[in-house]
Amino acid sequence: MLAKSSPTRHFNVQSRLFRLRGCSLDLAAFALSGFAAFELRFDGALPSQYGHPMAVASCIWLLVKCGVFVVAAVKWGHWRYTSANDVARIVLANSLGSLLGGSILFVLLGPEIIPRSVYVLDWLVCCLLTLLISA
């Protein structure tokens, strides 16, 4: 077996760092979208009774969306190379992650704990953030 040349190893390291950066930004987007959805719903004045549901919802959405993005094979690239298929894949992965996460929250916390608008706001903010940083 031939040893890899220095430029090849350098490219592999850069490629891994690029994927790690993209994954980290997506995780930050997933967490931020949950918090932002609650803050937008309550105009920045979050009542104390929604602190715990916000933390639970953000954690669940983070885990579920991360799993969905891995299964959907969402790739990180540059806007210059992003196609309509990539955008559709990101929106579809966000939609599926929000639906699955919302279903889990609905079952765990009940229908009255989290306002319905938070589910929609989370999806919108998460789509916006992931399209801005993932594509």
Distance in angstroms (rounded) separating the CA atoms of residues 69 and 131: 13
pLDDT for the residue numbered 6: 61
Spatial contact of 74 and 89, defined as CB atoms under 8 Å apart: yes
In one-letter notation, the amino acid at residue 2 is: L
pTM: 0.79
Closest Cα to residue 97, out of 64, 135, 133, 132?
A: 64
pLDDT for the residue numbered 46: 84
In the structure, what pLDDT confidence band is assigned to residue 17 with cuts at 50, 70 and 90?
confident
Whether the predicted pLDDT of 4 surpasses 60:
no
Distance in angstroms (rounded) separating the CA atoms of residues 79 and 90: 13
Spatial contact of 22 and 76, defined as CB atoms under 8 Å apart: yes
Mean pLDDT of 100-116: 89
Distance in angstroms (rounded) separating the CA atoms of residues 10 and 5: 9
pLDDT for the residue numbered 10: 59
pLDDT for the residue numbered 14: 73
Distances (CA, A) of 128 to 43, 80, 90, 122, 124: 19, 17, 10, 10, 6
* Residue 65: how many other CB atoms lie within 10 Å: 28
For 24-70, write each residue's pLDDT tens digit: 888 888 889 989 999 999 888 888 888 888 889 889 999 999 889 88
Q: Which of 4-18, 80-94, 96-110 has the highest mean predicted lDDT (pLDDT)?
A: 96-110
For 83-98, write each residue's pLDDT tens digit: 788 888 889 999 999 9
